């Protein structure tokens, strides 16, 4: 009976590694923040009657977010207006008396000063009573609601934090001895390790002061307009800033081709006979685009397998028993 020949091994996707010109960068840990953000605080004393929004809600500019019971402020406004009316009437009386030479000019000066003081108090009371409504200063997203309906609001107490989601930047703290290097950088790249995403910075801004305690300076890298529009980049997200300081030739391999077993990092190197063999390598940093630098264990011109799972099966089948 004729025997069936063993099935041929599936074609293995490979690539020949070569030295490539890549950007030389100085990396620094960073945090995402919104360019436009605000913490809205109470300006009157009163109980919070209504909280109309919660974290994650999108709001329009001028939209009412909270309502505070400002009856005390309204009563103060009524009293201030009554005092203004009395001061105005008194000023008119004093003017008539001065015209008839019954009182001195000093009495008129005092009446005018009293009237101006009462007018200022009434204006202040009117402004205070108008602060019973907490409104959005710009269109954006509610990051946090820091108070609930029924709680007391006092002047200065934070109530809501708001940010504009379409305009983001990352902020990194740079040691003072690296400031000269960062200032010379003409280009910046932003890495988001959680998603593997890389973005080009549209602008680099080095703040003019150094913290006396940590001896670090804050550096901002701005994302291009609309880069955070999909909502995946939000304030507080961890990022890594890469300041491009020059270029170098490096041996790079795709991250998907790397085999990791505990502390071992390896690649399947394809022999001239087409057989994949596992070889330990020493890796460097991840480069823009996700490729990884190989520091040792691989030479330019060698061929590696791009799918380590298939390469492992093929190596096991062809390995001498």
The model's pLDDT over 283-308, given as tens digits with 9 standing for 90+, comes to: 988 877 778 889 998 999 998 888 88
Pick from 125, 123, 97, 124: nearest CA to 110: 97
In this predicted structure, the answer to whether residue 216 has a pLDDT above a threshold of 70 is yes
Structure confidence at residue 29 (pLDDT): 93
* 169 vs 141: CA distance, rounded Å: 16
In this predicted structure, the answer to whether residue 233 has a pLDDT above a threshold of 70 is yes
In this predicted structure, the answer to whether residue 79 has a pLDDT above a threshold of 80 is no
Domains along the chain? 14-20+250-318 (2.40.420.20), 23-36+166-247 (2.40.30.170), 38-162 (2.40.50.100)
Structure confidence at residue 75 (pLDDT): 60
pLDDT tens, position by position, 244-277: 888 888 899 988 889 998 888 999 899 888 888 8
* Three-state helix/strand/coil letters over 16-47: ECCEEEEEEEEEEEEEEEECCEEEEECCCCEE
Looking at per-residue confidence, does 95 or 62 come out higher? 62
Q: What is the mean pLDDT of the chain?
A: 83
Report residue 240's pLDDT band, with 50, 70 and 90 as the boundaries: very high
Report residue 1's pLDDT band, with 50, 70 and 90 as the boundaries: very low
In this predicted structure, the answer to whether residue 77 has a pLDDT above a threshold of 90 is no
Q: What single-letter DSSP state applies at residue 103?
A: S
Q: Give DSSP secondary structure letters for 286-311.
A: EPTTS-EEEEES--TT-EEES-HHHH
* 290 vs 299: CA distance, rounded Å: 20
pLDDT tens, position by position, 131-173: 778 889 999 999 999 999 888 888 889 999 999 988 899 999 9
* 183 vs 117: CA distance, rounded Å: 54
What average pLDDT score do residues 221-247 get?
85
Pairing of strands 238-253, 187-192: antiparallel
Structure confidence at residue 317 (pLDDT): 78
Lowest mean pLDDT among 60-69, 74-83, 135-144, 212-221: 74-83
Structure confidence at residue 155 (pLDDT): 85
In this predicted structure, the answer to whether residue 16 has a pLDDT above a threshold of 50 is yes
In this predicted structure, the answer to whether residue 5 has a pLDDT above a threshold of 70 is no
């Amino acid at each position: 009976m004729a025997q069936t020949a063993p099935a041929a091994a599936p074609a293995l996707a490979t690539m020949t590694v070569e030295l490539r010109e890549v950007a030389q960068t100085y990396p620094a840990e960073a945090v995402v923040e919104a360019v436009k953000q605000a913490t809205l605080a109470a300006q009157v004393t009163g109980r919070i009657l209504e909280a109309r929004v919660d974290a994650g809600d999108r709001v329009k500019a001028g939209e009412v977010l909270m309502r505070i019971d400002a009856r005390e402020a309204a009563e103060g406004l009524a009293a201030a207006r009554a005092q203004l009316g009395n001061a105005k009437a008194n000023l008119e009386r004093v003017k008539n008396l001065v015209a008839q030479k019954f009182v001195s000019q000093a009495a008129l000066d005092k009446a005018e000063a009293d009237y101006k003081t009462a007018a200022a108090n009434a204006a202040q009371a009117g402004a205070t009573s108008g602060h019973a409504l907490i409104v959005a200063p710009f269109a954006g997203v509610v990051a946090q609601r820091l108070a609930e309906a029924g709680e007391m609001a006092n002047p200065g107490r934070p109530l809501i934090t708001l940010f504009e989601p379409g305009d983001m930047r990352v902020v990194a703290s740079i040691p003072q001895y690296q400031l000269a290097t960062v200032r010379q950088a003409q280009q910046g790249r932003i890495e988001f390790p959680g998603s593997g995403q890389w973005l080009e910075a549209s602008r680099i801004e080095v703040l003019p002061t150094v913290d006396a305690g940590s001896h670090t300076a804050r550096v901002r890298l701005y994302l291009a307009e609309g880069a955070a529009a999909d909502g995946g980049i939000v304030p507080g997200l961890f990022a890594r800033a890469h300041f491009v300081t020059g270029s170098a030739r490096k041996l790079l391999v795709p991250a998907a081709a790397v085999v990791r077993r505990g502390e071992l990092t390896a690649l399947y190197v394809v022999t001239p006979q087409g057989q994949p063999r596992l070889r330990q390598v020493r890796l460097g940093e991840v480069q823009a685009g996700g490729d990884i630098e190989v520091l040792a264990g691989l030479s330019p011109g060698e061929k590696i397998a791009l799918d380590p799972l298939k390469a492992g099966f093929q190596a096991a089948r062809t390995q001498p028993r």
